[in-house]
Structure 1
């Protein structure tokens, strides 16, 4: 643990001796070529040359040639990605040679193995046809230059306590339009391939975007709500590097938790056809597990641990409930539940138009909610699926008021339980647990701030703050 205490920052990440990829003259050429190709593509990534505005096939081929040439020029800067870049060039050529049909980049996906080289500051040039989660739903060609975040203190925690060999903490260097959005992840599941691999071998989360977004929204919410912060937490919110450290630790433990504990399930839970409060509870369980572990790590003297706790609390309570639309918004639901639980247990109070937090009791009561969700999961092992869903509904509705028109709120007698459970998901209202009056008011005041975080990075956030 001494090693962890000595190592305390992400700022140790430095450009490689070969120089920054984004400073190479081929990078803007590559980026421009990708931006030329993207508008020509259909939702599935193919190019329909009969569509309005489509280029001649030869024009598309020349654009792909520009991408290939740029990748080959940049690749010597990144010898650790040489095999991936060779496969990428082959996939790009095959896509063009087969008439720009639905792209298949499985070979290059399998060759890209960033988790095998988790070295702090290591750069990667990534080009794939993909959708960007919480960003662009279409499988357009995207290019992104990123840098690995893997300081010694984090590597030691992963090796000794939170084994997560697939997790990659990353930051942006530059990107094409699909990432000029709210997307803060790079996941292999989003890439266009002919068939899904047997297993995925990495997953990346951009801690710089998460930190910059968190800081802007939290600063606005604290000001609006008149919340008085302890000095160390105020300093953390004002410090991009500290927030990045908090988020990369939070993300690593959160990501790991999906496959640990009772009833673990796939993070891409939407495929499992469950009511959205089940997704909300799972995401909240993973966040509160990270919170619980951070409480332990703080007691052991890990510098980033206290910051993780307040990053979880503030992001969950201030940003999540009022971000996105109200159609089965499971992240929003988890934030509402956390706030309501802390409010019911008198940890947060909204009086005289000011928010007050009992900082001493916050860790204990937040861990208590984590325990209630864990108890729900543990008991769920012995329940049929539908019974488990109702038990989860009861937990949520103990703290959040359901929509008055909800059939689920009326209990099993209001539903046709002879149907398969997945059919009963259709009876869930788009906004089963509407915003409280507190959050309705907060949403109106924070809406423009949240909108302003689209495409934010550590650099862009600092530039806007200075302006």
Structure 2
């Protein structure tokens, strides 16, 4: 990684940046944040009058330790100076207001990591926030991270995949909210008095994604008896190589939400839709990344071949058997990819072994991407409900619906006098159950997937060793 230079306070010279997590103030900050977290309610507030609550002086003392630690660490990160000043002001205002619902809008607006993407650049981030796929409560969190922005990726973003808001990141250390399955740092998760007019960045932890991918893929390969080509085996053994693949995958996936023939709201944030619509959107973005990776591989980008392996393995082996089965749209996308490849003879489960036709996999995977893109393109001319049924038809061509499904019976089984959003209530929690193949795989991988909670690059290496 490119080393980021800062001024040495001791000598006034230019030295490689110190690691924030090696500074004695970092464990002080972590401990104080953890203490405060234990007192917070779901909305982030602290009820000082509740039975067993700490006294105001105790809470203020812990917050003072947080503020002092931030001020002591901030000189290591001159690029975050404005953010840290705003952060301290937000923390003090929280205390002055009696520790009600926290408001970090001012410091959120001051934090602009996408404006200075440099490979290896550190950030110290403290917010009251929930962690997506992690802690649902808006607790105080502290995380130290580094930006992943190699020159080859920066050049691709400049010339082909414009995504000025995307920031690839890795963990240095974190508090409890990130000792979970969360692999993102998104501004919309942060406690604020009002949402900003627009969000200006989004961070994805490619190290956690890569580590999780390696551990689960290795277990799936062993369980299924897959004969891996040498280059895939080498990839799974190399954390940095996998991180490079994921940061490229993430960048292209992220921008795809606002490119192509789109639904009205590309991120579907404000739309109540059947969960297979969300599943198709996420899969569309992943398969677009796959399709672009096929092109990039032909142009000599080594990371592009790895992206293809990552998309196929993560989607087929981790997504379908991760999480519960209540409207699991990511799981559905993985089921659809596997079924499509299976029904086109790219994967075969024979003699208790999964065989993969590596030569045909790119062509057939791109074929599925084309089918989804055609669904979107045709959807522009359809009413919403008709489009939902068309999407259901695509999915049910390859996946068997639940035998009790109302939607599977067609429009005549639904009360079409209701608005479309009401018909979402007729969708079963598990509209497309796992196949017998996946039911068996889920039992085999359950413990491995559970072990990836809170995983980091370092812990993945320990598992590999």
Pair 1:286-2:285 in alignment: yes
Match of 1:324 in 2: 323
Cα deviation for residue 418 of structure 1 reads 1.0
Distance 1:167 1:123, change over 3 A: same
Rounded to whole Å, the distance in 2 between the matches of 1:144 and 1:267 is 30
Match of 2:242 in 1: 243
Rounded to whole Å, the distance in 2 between the matches of 1:267 and 1:121 is 31
How many residues in Structure 1 have an aligned counterpart in Structure 2? Answer: 455
- SS of alignment partner, residue 272 of structure 1: coil
Please report the TM-score for the alignment, with normalisation by the length of structure 2: 0.97
Cα deviation for residue 461 of structure 1 reads 1.2
Rounded to whole Å, the distance in 2 between the matches of 1:125 and 1:380 is 44
Rounded to whole Å, the distance in 2 between the matches of 1:379 and 1:199 is 30
Match of 1:444 in 2: 443
Match of 1:163 in 2: 162
Match of 2:342 in 1: 343
Rounded to whole Å, the distance in 1 between the matches of 2:337 and 2:148 is 29
Rounded to whole Å, the distance in 1 between the matches of 2:51 and 2:348 is 57
Distance 1:224 1:172, change over 3 A: same
Q: Is the 8 A contact 1:40 1:53 kept in 2?
A: no
- SS of alignment partner, residue 126 of structure 1: strand
Q: Is the 8 A contact 1:400 1:433 kept in 2?
A: yes
Matching of residues 18-417 of structure 1 within 5 Å:
18-264=17-263, 269-417=268-416
Cα deviation for residue 13 of structure 1 reads 4.5
Distance 1:282 1:368, change over 3 A: same
Q: Is the 8 A contact 1:131 1:140 kept in 2?
A: yes
- SS of alignment partner, residue 168 of structure 2: strand
Rounded to whole Å, the distance in 2 between the matches of 1:264 and 1:108 is 33
**Alpha-carbon deviations, 1:136-165, whole Å to 9, x = none?**
000000000000000000000000000000
Distance 1:356 1:52, change over 3 A: farther
**Alpha-carbon deviations, 1:216-267, whole Å to 9, x = none?**
0000000000000110111001110110000000000000000000115657
Match of 2:8 in 1: none
**Alpha-carbon deviations, 1:260-293, whole Å to 9, x = none?**
0011565753541110000000000000000000
- SS of alignment partner, residue 326 of structure 2: coil
Cα deviation for residue 53 of structure 1 reads 3.4
Rounded to whole Å, the distance in 2 between the matches of 1:52 and 1:406 is 48
- SS of alignment partner, residue 332 of structure 2: helix
**Alpha-carbon deviations, 1:27-73, whole Å to 9, x = none?**
01000000000010000000112334321111111111110000000
Q: Is the 8 A contact 1:408 1:414 kept in 2?
A: yes
Distance 1:288 1:215, change over 3 A: same
Cα deviation for residue 462 of structure 1 reads 1.1
Q: Which structure 1 residue ranges, 5 or more long, are not aligned?
A: 1-11
Q: Is the 8 A contact 1:258 1:265 kept in 2?
A: no
Cα deviation for residue 18 of structure 1 reads 2.9
Rounded to whole Å, the distance in 2 between the matches of 1:267 and 1:195 is 22
Distance 1:359 1:20, change over 3 A: same
- SS of alignment partner, residue 216 of structure 2: helix
Q: Is the 8 A contact 2:3 2:17 kept in 1?
A: no
Q: Is the 8 A contact 2:320 2:330 kept in 1?
A: yes
Match of 1:5 in 2: none
Rounded to whole Å, the distance in 1 between the matches of 2:291 and 2:169 is 24
Match of 2:11 in 1: none
Cα deviation for residue 15 of structure 1 reads 6.5
Q: Is the 8 A contact 1:46 1:102 kept in 2?
A: yes
Q: Is the 8 A contact 1:275 1:428 kept in 2?
A: yes
- SS of alignment partner, residue 145 of structure 2: strand
Rounded to whole Å, the distance in 2 between the matches of 1:267 and 1:145 is 31
Rounded to whole Å, the distance in 2 between the matches of 1:209 and 1:193 is 27
Distance 1:265 1:458, change over 3 A: farther
Rounded to whole Å, the distance in 1 between the matches of 2:462 and 2:404 is 46
Rounded to whole Å, the distance in 2 between the matches of 1:187 and 1:107 is 16
Q: Is the 8 A contact 1:258 1:266 kept in 2?
A: no
Please provide the CA RMSD for this pair.
Answer: 1.0
Match of 1:453 in 2: 452
Please report the TM-score for the alignment, with normalisation by the length of structure 1: 0.96
Rounded to whole Å, the distance in 1 between the matches of 2:304 and 2:347 is 21
Q: Is the 8 A contact 1:259 1:265 kept in 2?
A: no
Distance 1:426 1:289, change over 3 A: same
